[in-house]
Amino acid sequence: MHRSETLVQWSLAVVALSAIAVLALIIIFIFKEGSPIIARLGIAQFITGTKWSPTRGMFGILPMILGSVWVTLGALIIGVPIGLATAIFLAEMAPSRTSQILKSAIQLLAGIPSVVFGFIGLIILVPLIRKWLGGPGFSVLAAGIVLGIMILPTIVSVCYDVFKAVPQAYREGMLALGATRWQTIRMVVLPAARPGIIAAVILGMGRAVGETMAVIMVAGNATKIPISPLAPVRTLTSNIALEMGYAVGEHREALFATGIVLFVIIALLNTLARLVARVEKV
C-alpha cells in the first residue's frame, strides 16, 4: 500500500521534472550556441548595430528589436481596445446565453493556426494596404493588424475572468446609489480590475512578440529600421525563422544570439506580468 503510493509519487515527479529539464536544456543550448558571437562582438554592438548582413559579417539586430517593438505596439493598439470592449460586454452586459456563445467563438479564434492568419493577411490585407494607403503593403501596419486579431482571445479571456472576479457586492452597492450600468463599470469594475487588465495586456504582448509565421508572411522582412507604419519590417522571431534554413558558422551563431535576446525579452515580460498580478492581490 505504502510502497505503491511512493511509486506513483516518484513516477509523477519524474514526469514533472522532465518538463523542467527540457526547459533547462533549451536555455543551456541557446546560450551555448549564441553567446560566443555576442562575446566576440560585444553585447552593445550586437543589440545597437543597425546593419544585418550576415554573409558580409555584419551582425546588428537593432532593426529587428525595433521591428518587434513597433509590430507589438501596433498589435496592442488594435487588440487591446477591441479585446477590452469585448470582455466588458461579455462579462457585464450580455445575457449569459449570448455571453457563452460569443466566448466560445472567441476561444475558437485562438485555435486557428497562425499560418492561416498570415495567409489571410497576405491575400486580403496586404493588397488593400498597397492599394489604399500606398507602399508595398507588407508593413508594420499589416503585421500589427494581424497580430492584434491574434492576441484578442488572450486579452478577452483574461479580462473576462478578471471582471468576473470583481465582487458582486461592489456593483450592487454602486447600483443601489443610483448609478447607471455604464457608470458602475467605469467607476467600480474597471478600477478594481486594473491590475488584471494590465496582466492581460502583458500576456498579449508576449504572444505578439513570440509570433513568427503570420508575421513573416505579412511584414515584408526588410532589415531596415522602419520609419513609417507602411514600411516593411522584420521582427526578431522572423529573423531566426527566415534564415535558419541555410545558416552556417557565425551566421548560425548570430541567429541563436537573436534567440537569446528574444528569450530575455519574453522572460522580462512574463516576470512583469507576475509582478503586476501580485500587486493586485495585495
Partner 1 sequence: MKRFIPLALGAIILFAILAAIHSLRAPARRDENHAPASITLAGSTSVQPFAEILADEYMNEVENIIINIQGGGSSAGARSALSGVAEVGMLSRELQGDEKTLVPTYIAYDAIALVVHTSNPSRNLDIAEVQGIFAGKTTDWSEVGGETRKIHVVTREEGSGTRGAFDQIIMGTVEVTPGAIVQDSNGAVREIVAGDPSAIGYLSLGLVDKRVKAIAVSGVLPSIATVANNTYKLVRPMILATREGPRKEVRDFISYCLSEKAQAMLAKEGLVPVTSVTPGG
Q: How many angstroms separate the CA atoms of 242 and 53, rounded?
A: 13
Give the C-alpha distances (Å, rounded to integers) separating 195 from 159, 187, 200: 10, 15, 9
Nearer Cβ to partner 1 (177/248):
248
Residue 251 binding partner 1, by CB under 8 A: yes
104 binds partner 1 (CB under 8 A): no
Question: Binding of partner 1 at residue 54 (CB under 8 A)?
Answer: yes
Residues 118-137 that bind partner 1 (CB under 8 A): 122, 126-127, 130, 136-137
- Which of the 8 DSSP states describes residue 226? P
Per-residue interface string for the shown chain with partner 1, residues 145-184, x marking contact by CB under 8 A: ----------------------------------------
Sorted by sequence, the CB contacts under 8 Å of residue 119 that are 6+ apart come out as: 217
Can you tell me whether residue 59 is helix, strand or coil?
A: strand
For 58, phi and psi rounded to 5 degrees?
A: -110, 115
CA separation, residue 282 to residues 168, 195, 277, 278 (Å)? 19, 11, 9, 7
Q: CB of 220 within 8 A of CB of 232?
A: yes
Q: Please, are residues 206 and 269 in contact by the beta-carbon 8 Å criterion?
A: yes
Q: Cβ closer to partner 1: 196 or 226?
A: 226
When asked if residue 48 is in the footprint of partner 1 (CB under 8 A), the reply is no
Among 23, 28, 40, 51, binds partner 1 (CB under 8 A): 51
The residues, any chain, with a CB within 8 Å of residue 207's CB and separated by 6 or more, are 150, 151, 154
Task: Write down the least CB distance from residue 116 to partner 1, Å.
Answer: 16
Nearer to partner 1, 176 or 248 (CB): 248
Residue pair 216/239 in contact (Cβ under 8 Å)? The answer is: no
Choose between 154 and 235: whose C-beta lies nearer to partner 1: 235
Residues 229-248 that bind partner 1 (CB under 8 A): 231-232, 234, 242-243, 245-248
Q: Can residue 52 be called a binding residue for partner 1 (CB under 8 A)?
A: yes
Site residues for partner 1 per CB under 8 A? 1, 4, 7-8, 11, 51-56, 63, 122, 126-127, 130, 136-138, 216, 220-224, 231-232, 234, 242-243, 245-248, 251
